[in-house]
Structure 1
Amino acid sequence: MSFSSRETSLATGAPLRFYEFRRGVMRWLYISCDRDVTVGTQVFRTVRGGISDNGIRQSGVAKQDSLLITAPADIEVAEPFRNSIPSSKIGLIIYDGHYGEAERKWRYTGSIASVRWPELDRCTITCQSIDAEMDRPGLSDTFSRTCTTYLGSPWCKVDLNPLRVDTTIQAMTGATISSGALAAFPDGWFTGGWVEWPIGQGEYDRRTIERHIGGVLTLLGGTVALGLGRAIRVFPGCDFLATTCHSKFNNLANMRATPQMDGKSPFDGEQVF
């Protein structure tokens, strides 16, 4: 039978919902029934207590059509949200199908916005559709004395690999980590940069560096998920000023700024500019 015939049948339908969460090459695959289902080389796993959602809505107002997924409290895809927000987006694709039927239909594309644990044994995963993401206002590249891009971007063109410091955490508190390798750099060298560490399958999680003094880095979001002896990669920061772009990165030719811009606005109301 086909997917369509099972959908319209009164007796042969056995509806399933496939949830495919993805972060880079990482995948979390779940199924709404009581047994695992294999699709090609992928195995969609059943979870204790089941996984379900409140239905896919399309009211025309994307931000109001949040999808709420209810799942066990210890479901793997929710764990990165326990103490902070992951540095990379976790996307979601939903397919509908029927048990014993190979054909599936796409139903939803979005990403996880937040996770709550309203009960000890259950969590609620709030997802927003790709339409809601497209409704967000974008950044405007305006005339500015400071650079409008970020370090290492395709527009910046700075190669960060030679500037990266690979080291291990030798000491830490709830907000800071320390390594002797970082003390060789002047204070503030890594301020505004970031620390990253492997989380498996080639993916990395990241924290922004709020302050760098000696061998100590203060991290935004604290040191949750980090530990003594963990291997980390530390990247320098940029304050978006022309002097820093030239002296620290030798990249003034690619700076997206107008540092000598006149301080007088042509739109301040005066007739003569």
Structure 2
Amino acid sequence: MNRFMDLAKELDEYSKEGMFSDSIKKLVEKRDELDSLDYLNESLLLWLEGHDQVGKEQVAEMIQAFLSLIIEGIRVDSTRTIETLQSFWFGTEDNPELECMSSYTEYVRKKASYDALLPELSSESSYAKKKHFSMEALSTYSKGVEFIGKIFTPLLVLGKIIDEEDYSLYKISQMTLHEKVKWFNKKRGNKYALFGDAINRQIRNADSHLNLNVNIDKGIVELKKFRKGKVVIETILWESFIRDYFVKIGWMIQGYIYAQILMIQGVQDRDTFVGNLEKIQGII
């Protein structure tokens, strides 16, 4: 738990240094004034009642899908389901280093750095500034995909719980992202296909081999691939990369976080849970 608190304080410091929006900074300042349930609800309401988010409907769909999977797990074995979700953030008693809070902290830091560059960019910006911004976007995307790879570990474990199969948390955590997505889709079918759809495998493969670049003059993302003994370059329009791929990473991460807040509310504050769920269903 000390590790978790250290990382939570790190996020607080980022906020105080101006890395996040004013609304989030105000929420951090209120942390000591609110109990845990109130704080979680305020966090969810920042998104629910905000008016400047892109893809709000898609995030709401992610929340519902995550919550549906969690409820499926609870129906079979509530104890192991809750332990699975807790271990994602805190690790296990035997292996606390399985925690993923540190990965989330790093993703939040990268996303905040990227967001801070947005207001400074314009068509008149220098080549160097445009290049720096585009590479920061690729780096943020990479961190997001890395974190989603970790999210797939509890998703697979929940699938094992639902199917009443034995599993090793450590072995699942060591699977590649491709292996996790492939196994999850095979076992769960199309019901939760939107999780795997959040990731573009070609971009992921190019990124993992450091074969991803942005051509500023042409406005494209270049993916180096090895085909029949040769290196070939495939391209994606920059606008398409941002619109079709970059944003989906954030949607999935938001959906995962908010679904767990709702689950906690469902257990401890049913009236608030029902009210928030109705608001989310109204978005879709």
Judging by fraction of residues, say which structure has more strand.
1
Larger relative contact order (Cα-Cα within 8 Å, sequence gap ≥ 6): 2
Judging by fraction of residues, say which structure has more helix.
2
Q: Highest CA radius of gyration, 1 or 2?
A: 1
**Superposition TM-score tier, normalisation by shorter sequence:** under 0.3
TM-score by length of 2: 0.23
